Structure 1
Amino acid sequence: MIEVEHLTKRYGGQLAVDDVSFTCEPGTVTGFLGPNGAGKSTTMRMICGLTPPTSGGATVDGVPYRRLGNPGRKVGVLLDASAQHAGRTGREILALAAITMGLDTARIPERLAKVGLDKTAARRRLRGYSLGMRQRLGLAYAMLGDPAVLILDEPANGLDPEGIFWMRGLLRGFADRGGTVLLSSHLLREVEAVADRLVVIGNGRILVQGGKDQLLGEAGTLVRAADPAELDSLLQSMGITGSRSADGSMLVPSDPQTIGKAAAAAGVVLLELRPAGAGGLEEMFLRLTGNGHGDSKLEEVTR
């Protein structure tokens, strides 16, 4: 289990991560999402002990990463697929990792094959790898010690569609066997396909978190009227506060039936009325992060 409690990181006067707390449980894939600069990578680096927090902390199975004995046997980490010596071969990189962790190097060919790297790729130096090949090698490195936890930052970068589909199966299988996965990715549809839980971060703080099905099912209602002013008056009379998007539609914390009946009774002509979650994770993500600050109205709607 990964437990993150009130993690905060300041760089001078800049607040990069602001009181972030969440939990990743065994048997689940947690999608860690947010726009560029939201604080995802900083949070993951703090979990892995690479960046000291200003306050708060994170543990894996109750122990801070830096205090884990032989951490590669417990936590597999892939934060930067290019963070290896460019002059070493794929086999050499895994061999050095195996020796460091006290593992038998005889397992390396099987581990390379598992991530789709053949004998030719194993002999090639890292500088000759494509980004997709580096990602595959990074996954082999992360899983070399048979850890129970995986922490992966953008592992699908550079993979072709077949590779992305392969990785989805790999991570889903890992979690189904009881493993814990924390996955950061910009490929929202792939995250939606594999994740059990979602944590969305913006401007360094949590915008929303919870089970994927719950969040997508309780995201509220999207409603758009021929006369936006009439819709505003209707919602005000109902005591409902919504959030308007760039296309003029409103995201409101109510169900479509209630809004539809009230609009019909008041003579308000609606052009759109549907559950917000019907558009999937991508739509929810864009609406959460589109305001740039993840205001409290959106947070209330999606919790």
Structure 2
Amino acid sequence: MISVEHLTKRYGPHTAVNDVSFRCEPGTVTGFLGPNGAGKSTTMRMITGLTPPTGGTATVDGMPYRRLPNPGRRVGVLLDASAQHPGRTGRETLSLAAQVMGVDRGRVDKLLDLVGLDAKAGRKRVRQYSLGMRQRLGLAHALLGDPRVLILDEPANGLDPEGIFWMRTVLRDFADRGGTVLLSSHLLREVEAVADRLVVIGGGRVVADGTKDELLAGSGIRVRALEPEKLEWALTTAGVTTTRTADGAFVAQADAETVGRTAAAADLVLLELRPADGGGLEQLFLELTTNGAAKEAAR
């Protein structure tokens, strides 16, 4: 389990992460989402002891990462697929890690096979690897110690569609066997396909935290009117958060009755009023991070 409590990180006057709290439970994949610069990587670095927090705590299985004995046997980490010695072969990289962690070297070949790096690829120098191959090697390294927790930052970067599907299968199987996965990714549809829980961060703050079903169920009401500008003004005045869609409609974060009554009070003719659909995680992400950025800018 991963527990993050009120994590904060400041760099001089700039606050990169502000009072972030969430939990990742065994048997689940938690999607950790946010735009560039939102504080995702900084948070993950604090969890893994690479960046000291200004305030708050983060624990894995009840202990700070730096206090874990032989942490690679408890937590598999992939934060930067390029942070591997370019002069070593893939097999040498894993063999050295196995020796440091006290892992049976027989797992090296098993893991290379699992991540789709054959004997020829295992003999290549890492400098000859594509980004996708480095991601596969990084995941093999994360899994080498047979951990119960995985912390992965953009592990699907550089993978082709087949590789992304393979990655999703590996992570889902890991969680289904009782493992805990914290996964950061910009590939929202892939996160939607594999995640059980979602933590969305914007402007260094958590703007949403819950199960995927809970968060996606609250996708709002789609509404369209003959006079869209007046509709937007009426809803905003009534305190309803709206997001304009590409076809001129709005997704309103309120129930249908509230939206309908607001439109009627403004003498607006509605062309459409129904539950929003089809946007899924991408729509939710845009709504939350746009609103979060606006609130942060207003502070």
**1:221–1:253: 8 Å Cα contact kept in structure 2?**
yes
**1:73–1:145: 8 Å Cα contact kept in structure 2?**
yes
Superposed counterparts of 1:1-303, under 5 Å: 1-228=1-228, 230-231=230-231, 235=235, 239-245=238-244, 249-256=249-256, 259-260=259-260, 263=263, 268-276=268-276, 278-291=278-291, 293=293, 295=295
**1:288–1:294: 8 Å Cα contact kept in structure 2?**
no
What amino acid maps onto 1:243 in structure 2?
Answer: T
Distance in 2 between the 1:146 and 1:274 partners?
A: 48
Q: CA deviation at 1:263?
A: 4.3
Question: Structure 1 residues 142, 48: CA separation in 2 closer, same or farther (over 3 Å shift)?
Answer: same
How many residue pairs align between the two structures? 295
Distance in 1 between the 2:37 and 2:68 partners?
A: 29
**1:240–1:253: 8 Å Cα contact kept in structure 2?**
no
Q: CA deviation at 1:142?
A: 0.1
**2:80–2:153: 8 Å Cα contact kept in structure 1?**
yes
Question: Structure 1 residues 235, 206: CA separation in 2 closer, same or farther (over 3 Å shift)?
Answer: same
Structure 1, unaligned runs of 5 or more: 297-303
**1:277–1:284: 8 Å Cα contact kept in structure 2?**
no
**1:79–1:153: 8 Å Cα contact kept in structure 2?**
yes
Q: CA deviation at 1:211?
A: 0.7
Question: Which stretch of structure 1 is more off in the superposition, 209-218 or 248-257?
Answer: 248-257
Q: TM-score, normalised by structure 2?
A: 0.92
Distance in 1 between the 2:74 and 2:27 partners?
A: 15
What amino acid maps onto 1:150 in structure 2?
Answer: L
Deviation by residue 1:61-116 (Cα, 9 ceiling, x = unmatched): 11000000000000000000111110000000000100000111122111100000
SS at structure 1 position matched to 2:146: coil
Structure 2, unaligned runs of 5 or more: none
Deviation by residue 1:140-185 (Cα, 9 ceiling, x = unmatched): 0000011000000000000000000011110001001110000000
Distance in 2 between the 1:101 and 1:37 partners?
A: 33
Q: CA deviation at 1:225?
A: 2.0
Aligned-pair RMSD on alpha carbons?
2.2
SS at structure 1 position matched to 2:58: strand
Distance in 2 between the 1:250 and 1:112 partners?
A: 49
Distance in 2 between the 1:207 and 1:88 partners?
A: 42
Distance in 1 between the 2:89 and 2:263 partners?
A: 66
Question: Structure 1 residues 78, 246: CA separation in 2 closer, same or farther (over 3 Å shift)?
Answer: same
Q: Which runs of 4+ in 1 moved over 6 A?
A: none
Q: CA deviation at 1:203?
A: 1.1
Q: CA deviation at 1:274?
A: 3.6
**2:226–2:270: 8 Å Cα contact kept in structure 1?**
yes
SS at structure 1 position matched to 2:20: strand
Distance in 2 between the 1:37 and 1:262 partners?
A: 37
Q: CA deviation at 1:223?
A: 2.1
Question: Structure 1 residues 221, 294: CA separation in 2 closer, same or farther (over 3 Å shift)?
Answer: farther
